[in-house]
């Protein structure tokens, strides 16, 4: 293994331990200490943490490096994404390689499904918060309905697309060895996806690139709408008592506004992954560090999400 690959595996391992341990700690704390007044929104946060954990475990298992002929992967897998010509190939450094290439592909499926869930859960949480600010006091079934309507369809479609896009492992290994012999394809666990014109690949790109645009625009639309409604609600809330008034006090705090703004900006980090992908796709530059950075930026993304969710939950406990 080259020195650059060693560094990448080390960074993946460190971020894996940090991200997984933090999210597990948050999840345990939520189940044990969620106050009744926060239980409904707690459903949203618990789902968010579970989605993050599925992504983190998939990343840790695969620890992939994606190579474009085209190549992608993450932690059970620890991957590099390598775009080559019109295919996507993955080099997996994670423990999934000790099981089988199929295990690495399953880790990739879990990772992409969890990632889609996490991104769209941000939108779902914004919708839920808007309901609360407007005084609708949504029930747990409303939170579950929002998750089932906004999050699960996209995540399910992504997982199905990744499953259908898989190509023969032997073909993927041969292709990488022919085009990039310096990568030592037969010394690594190599998996791949079909030609980028395959419907499953097109569906993947549509979900990741096209659908994320309207999703992010919706977040940017909801944020100022929430803050405007918040200012009007504060005046009315001063005449109220009980849980509603305490909730409005929380939502009106400067801390909450700052957290809301930070969370709205988080999806922008994913644009970095698209940039690194395009650099490899157009054969501008290939390097293990660049190919692995697509996955590494995900770790930073989920640690940031954990920090925001933990701050929200801690705030609820102090009420």
With a threshold of 0.75, does the pTM exceed it?
no
Q: Which of 49, 216, 58 is nearest to 123 (CA)?
A: 216
Going from N- to C-terminal start, the domains of the chain cover 3-314
Q: For residues 188-211, b (16+ Cβ closer than 10 Å) or e, as one string?
A: bbbbbbbebebeebebbeebbeeb
Rounded CA separation 148/304 (Å): 24
Q: How many residues does the chain have?
A: 319
**How many helices (H) and strands (E) are present in the chain, helices listed first?**
12, 4
CATH topology of domain 3-314: Rhopdopsin 7-helix transmembrane proteins (1.20.1070)
Rounded CA separation 57/118 (Å): 14
Structure tokens at 271: 């644009």
Report yes or no: 285 and 254 within 8 Å, Cβ to Cβ: no
Q: Which residues pair with 91 in a beta bridge?
A: 65, 190
Give pLDDT tens digits along the chain (319 positions): 566 667 767 777 777 788 788 888 888 888 888 777 778 888 888 898 888 888 888 877 766 655 444 333 344 444 555 555 567 778 887 788 888 888 888 888 888 888 888 888 888 888 888 888 777 878 888 999 999 999 999 999 999 998 998 888 888 888 888 877 877 888 888 888 777 778 888 888 888 778 878 888 888 888 888 777 776 766 555 555 555 555 555 555 555 566 666 666 666 666 666 676 667 666 666 666 665 555 544 444 444 444 444 544 445 544 5
Rounded CA separation 33/299 (Å): 26
Report yes or no: 188 and 79 within 8 Å, Cβ to Cβ: no
Q: What is the DSSP string of 86-120?
A: TEEEEEE-SGGGGT-HHHHHHHHHHHHHHHHHHHH
User: To 10 degrees, the CA torsion angle through 218, 222, 224, 227?
Assistant: -160
Q: What is the DSSP string of 145-214?
A: HHIIIIIHHHHHHHHHHHHHHB--HHHHHHHHHHH-GGG-GGGSEEEEE--TTSHHHHHHHIIIIITHHH
């Amino acid at each position: 293994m080259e020195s650059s690959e060693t560094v990448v595996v080390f960074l993946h391992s460190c971020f894996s331990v940090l991200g997984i341990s933090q999210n597990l700690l948050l999840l345990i704390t939520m189940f044990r200490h969620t106050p009744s007044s926060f239980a409904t929104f707690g459903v949203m946060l618990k789902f968010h943490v579970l989605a993050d954990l599925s992504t983190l475990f998939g990343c840790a298992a695969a620890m992939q490096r994606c190579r474009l002929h085209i190549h992608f992967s993450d932690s059970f897998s620890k991957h590099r994404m390598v775009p080559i010509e019109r295919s996507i190939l993955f080099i997996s450094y994670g423990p999934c390689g000790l099981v089988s290439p199929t295990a690495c592909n399953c880790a990739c499926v879990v990772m992409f499904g969890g990632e889609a869930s996490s991104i769209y859960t941000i939108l779902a949480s914004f919708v839920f918060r808007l309901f609360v600010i407007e005084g609708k006091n949504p029930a747990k079934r409303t939170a579950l309905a929002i998750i089932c309507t906004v999050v699960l369809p996209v995540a399910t479609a992504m997982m199905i697309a990744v499953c259908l896009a898989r190509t023969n492992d032997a073909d993927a290994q041969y292709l990488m060895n022919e085009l990039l012999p310096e990568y030592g394809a037969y010394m690594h666990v190599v998996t791949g996806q079909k030609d980028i014109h395959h419907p499953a690949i097109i569906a993947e790109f549509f979900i990741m690139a096209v659908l994320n645009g309207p999703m992010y625009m919706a977040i940017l639309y909801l944020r100022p709408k929430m803050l405007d409604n918040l200012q009007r609600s504060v005046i009315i809330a001063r005449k109220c008592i009980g849980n509603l008034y305490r909730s409005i006090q929380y939502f009106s705090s400067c801390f909450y506004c700052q957290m809301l703004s930070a969370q709205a900006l988080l999806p922008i980090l994913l644009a970095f992954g698209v940039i690194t992908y395009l650099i490899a796709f157009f054969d501008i530059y290939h390097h293990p560090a660049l190919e692995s950075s697509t996955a590494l930026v995900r770790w930073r993304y989920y640690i940031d999400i954990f920090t925001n969710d933990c701050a929200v939950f801690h705030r609820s406990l102090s009420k």
